[in-house]
Amino acid sequence: MSRVSEMRIGLGTDVHQLAEGRKCIIGGVEIPFEKGLLGHSDADVLAHAVADAVLGAARAGDIGKLFPDTDDEWEGADSLVLLAKAAEKVRALGYEIVDVDSVISAQAPKMSPHREAMRENLARALGVEKESVGVKATTTEHLGYEGRGEGISAQAVALLVRCSSS
């Protein structure tokens, strides 16, 4: 019988508050900045959005369900490890990760010097080529919580395909 390819898309979004005394880790890159992201794990807002996009496409829940913030195991966790586990989970369900794109909304710090390293980190965690991972950034023109520097948000989309004989 013919091979049937089933394509799925997923959307992920995340927000973390900026706070003093925290590291600013985005896309697995520690960015020198006066504040960092607050959260149970390392609060990598971009890795979390990408993980939710990938999990969403496979209808496999979300990172809040997989790695609850009530679980001490994930306290201070490297979010690239969480992302790799999310990728493992969707592969176990028979999906291949085809393409990912993302955008970070932050007034500061500047993301462009770190974009290539973020793409490499995310791609490695996902087990895909760097070319399959997009990272963009925007300010919000000083509007909203990102614009006031209170927090940083990220959105991501993922395209997955499942190949099965039927």
- Judged by the rule CB under 5 A, the positions of this chain that interact with Mg ion are 14, 48
Which C-beta is closer to Mg ion: that of 38 or that of 161? 38
Task: Report, in Å, the least distance between residue 43 CB and Mg ion.
Answer: 6
Q: Retrieve residue 131's tokens.
A: 């070319």
Instruction: Using CB positions, name the residue nearest to Mg ion.
Output: 48
**Residue type present at position 92:** A
CB 16 within 8 A of CB 79: no
Task: Report, in Å, the least distance between residue 155 CB and Mg ion.
Answer: 12
Q: What is the DSSP letter of 133?
A: B
Which C-beta is closer to Mg ion: that of 43 or that of 111? 43
Which C-beta is closer to Mg ion: that of 35 or that of 48? 48
Q: Retrieve residue 123's tokens.
A: 């791609």
Going by C-alpha positions, the residue among 79, 50, 52 that lies closest to residue 63 is 52
Q: Retrieve residue 12's tokens.
A: 């992920």
Task: Report, in Å, the least distance between residue 98 CB and Mg ion.
Answer: 24
